[in-house]
Amino acid sequence: MSQYLITGATGNVGSEVLRQLCATGHKPLAMTRDAKSAGAKLPAGAFRYTQVS
């Protein structure tokens, strides 16, 4: 199985790509800037990576 890193995972395009990957059984890695807001927006099955600045 391929691995996917989705940047901008809470945005309009990134969230849809992430949702479709999770719906088809993939476990993508979602890159976000804000862990708190991402927690509510990311679908189950997505792994989170929060960028630390």
Decide: 27 and 6 in contact? Cβ < 8 Å. Answer: no
Which bin fits 6, alpha (ψ -120 to 50), beta or left (φ > 0)?
beta
Q: Tell me what pLDDT residue 24 has.
A: 92
**Cα dihedral across residues 51, 33, 43, 22: positive or negative:** negative
- Tens of pLDDT, residues 35-48: 777 777 787 778 77
The whole-number pLDDT of residue 45 equals 78
Report pLDDT digits (tens) over 1-29: 688 999 888 888 998 999 999 999 998 88
pLDDT at 51 over 80: no
Contact 27, 45 (CB under 8 A): yes
pLDDT score, position 13:
92
